[in-house]
Amino acid sequence: MDFAKQRQIMVDSQVRVNDVTTPGVVSAFLSIPREVFVPKAMQASAYAEYEIETGENRAMWTPRDLGKMLRALEAQDSDVSLVIGAGAGYSAALLGHMTEAVIALDDDEALVDAMTERFAKIGMDEAVAVQGDIAVGLPEQGPFDVILIAGMVEDVPQAWLDQLSEGGRMGVVVAKGRSLGQVRIYKRAGDTFSFRDAFECCPPVLPGFEKKAAFVF
């Protein structure tokens, strides 16, 4: 299978047509071999327009949703970035192409080891996979100019926001009911965090970030 041709078709039919024409984002999608980041049995469908499960509670987003998220984050080539719940590492590899450096954080050792192998296979020196508590993030490595949360959550931990640099952006999908989520782009200014709603999508849920039920008498 001609994967390079499939990448071009994906960009033309799933990314650009959804108003994702930022040169850096398009270049990343054309450059990073998506098939390397999916299970071998799914490689023939690597460029299809649906989510691909890559592990327990981890899945690769559709190119449309991931492209729109990356566009909204406005990543610069001088940025240092962090992906939380990185899974197979595809979104981190895209950010590695777009920014100076990226850390791919996940809590499963096997996932982290597999990401390390994939980054080495594609020659992605800008990306490093790290094992740690995704609820905590990597405060000792921050601050970060860009943070991407690679799944939908109900609750956004303050710990993630605190790791943003001045002017830093964090992209996260917040659940709004019936499997639908709202992409929020947070931005830091001093000790203040504001956000704007970017678009709706329904990526896989990142477990462990559900809102606590309110106590009712």
pLDDT band at 148 (very low <50, low <70, confident <90, very high): very high
Domains of the chain: 3-201 (3.40.50.150)
* SS3 readout for the chain: CCHHHHHHHHHHHHHHHHCCCCHHHHHHHHHCCHHHHCCHHHHHHCCCCCCEEEECCEEECCHHHHHHHHHHHCCCCCCEEEEECCCCCHHHHHHHHHCCEEEEEECCHHHHHHHHHHHHHCCCCCEEEEECCCCCCCCCCCCEEEEEEEEEECCCCHHHHCCEEEEEEEEEEEEEECCEEEEEEEEEECCEEEEEEEEEECCCECCCCCCCCCCCC
Give the residue carrying structure tokens 């240092």.
Answer: 80
Residues 99-122 pLDDT 10s: 999 999 999 999 999 999 999 999
| Tens digits of residue pLDDT in 8-48 | 999 999 999 999 999 999 999 999 999 999 988 889 999 99
Give strand pairing partners of 101: 80
Residues in the chain: 217
Percent of the chain clearing pLDDT 90 (strictly above): 82
pLDDT tens, position by position, 161-213: 999 999 999 999 999 877 789 999 999 999 999 999 999 998 888 888 887 75
pLDDT of the residue at 8 = 97
